[in-house]
Amino acid sequence: MNSRTLADRTLRGRVAVIGIGETDYYRHGGSPDPEFKLALKAILAACGDAGIDPRDIDSFSSYSDDRNEASRLAAALGTRRLRAATMQWGGGGGGSCAAVANAAASIVAGLADCVVVFRSLAQGQYGRFGQTTGIDTVSGEKAYLMPYGVLAPPQRFAVRVRRYMHEHGVKQEALRAIALASYHHAQSNPRAVMYGKPLDAAKYDASRWIAEPFHLYDCCMENDGAAALVLVPVERAKEFRSKAVYVLGAAVGSGYRTGAIPHNSPLYASASFDTVAPDLYGMAGLGPSDVGVVQCYENFTGGVAMALSEHGFFKPEEANQFLAFENLVAPFGRLPLNTSGGNLAECYIHGFELVLEAVRQVRGTSTNQVKRNDVAMVIGAPMVTPVSNLLLGSEATL
């Protein structure tokens, strides 16, 4: 393969986000709208933000077996013609950035011209992720876990985080700082479910254990809502009313046998980014020091610690020093983290709300705007497989 061909095989500077939108965010069971209606509302909001006719969308991309499938959306919206309809394999929020990458790849490959990437999730209507009642028999991975009370995500991931803390001497205070940063940012974000509900160290320490080492505030919320963005080829980036934000890179996957069940991945105490983080930096031509702000999926705070380390922001042995509240908050922290409140305190839309927040940061419109906002990172779902990540940038970074 010649170098020209290799250079062509990139998403860097090829596509632009021209619109973002979300529904009101609710605690689980709080949505007055059915999940499909939430999806429609988020898509229309994103189109409205871009100033684009929703009928001009030609493709849809989502992840985690989103129930609101492309053909129904296209029929409901009167989409003139449907082209790419892409679903990223894998449960959890590991596909939050992959859905953007797949959409971008569809555009670059000539399969799509205007893609909506979205996630709609009403846990109040289809079952809470934190509860497993109503299952009689289980097979496969679940059979090795659920009869032992390892049922829902907190129990599945606490063991992995405990091992990480053991191997690297990571303290509870490092996890706490991540929770405090998310809640701090939510206090100036009116969209956030936890807006007006601040968290401090004493309240965190006094909160009940879910599964040690996770306190209540180490765990994501369970919510109802939807979020969407619109992606077009870079040539069209300036046709729309909102400031375009550019994809600088994306990567998807996981390392050697990460999917070996139950809990048999060779690199166990890991967020699954050992191969995926280098891929992202390689495509973008950037390194950790170029990144001004990070949105990292908080299924659990411990996974955030692992993922940030695997993206090169600190060595695992430095986690206790780096993961201090003042380092993680906008506008001037060393690495402002989850500036909308994220899955812990804004709304758990399977991490897609974090992608929207990265767009806002690059636009300069976040409710916790950072100063170094030319390059924003998103990290999708530590500890699952496949995982994914994304670098977004301003026009100046192209």
Q: Which residues bind to other proteins, rule: CB under 8 A?
A: 130-133, 135-152, 154-155, 158-160, 162-163, 166, 208-213, 257, 260-264, 268
The long-range contacts involving 308-314, CB below 8 angstroms and separated by at least 24 positions, are: 308/335, 308/337, 308/379, 310/270, 310/271, 310/273, 310/274, 310/277, 311/273, 311/277, 311/280, 311/377, 311/379, 311/389, 312/277, 312/281, 312/287, 312/288, 313/288
- Dist CA 333 CA 320 (whole Å): 16
Between 67 and 162, name the residue whose CB sits nearer to other proteins. Answer: 162
- What are the helix (H) ranges across 261-396? 276-284, 301-310, 319-322, 325-328, 342-345, 352-363
**348 is annotated as an active-site residue:** yes
Between 100 and 384, name the residue whose CB sits nearer to other proteins. Answer: 384
**25 is annotated as an active-site residue:** no
**DSSP codes joined into one string, 82-95:** ---EEEE--STTTT
116 forms beta bridges with 60, 230
24: phi then psi, degrees, rounded to nearest 5: -60, 150
- Paired tokens of 198: 């601040």
Nearest approach, Cβ of residue 210 and other proteins (Å): 4
Q: How many CB atoms lie within 10 A of CB 235?
A: 10
- Dist CA 157 CA 262 (whole Å): 12
Nearest approach, Cβ of residue 269 and other proteins (Å): 8
Tell me the residue type at 314.
F
Nearest approach, Cβ of residue 163 and other proteins (Å): 4
CA separation (Å) from 207 to 214, 335, 369?
10, 26, 30
- Paired tokens of 106: 């569809």
Nearest approach, Cβ of residue 356 and other proteins (Å): 29
Between 54 and 154, name the residue whose CB sits nearer to other proteins. Answer: 154
Which one is catalytic: 25, 204, 281, 297?
A: 297
- Paired tokens of 60: 């849809």
Q: How many CB atoms lie within 10 A of CB 146?
A: 17
> What residues act catalytically?
297, 348
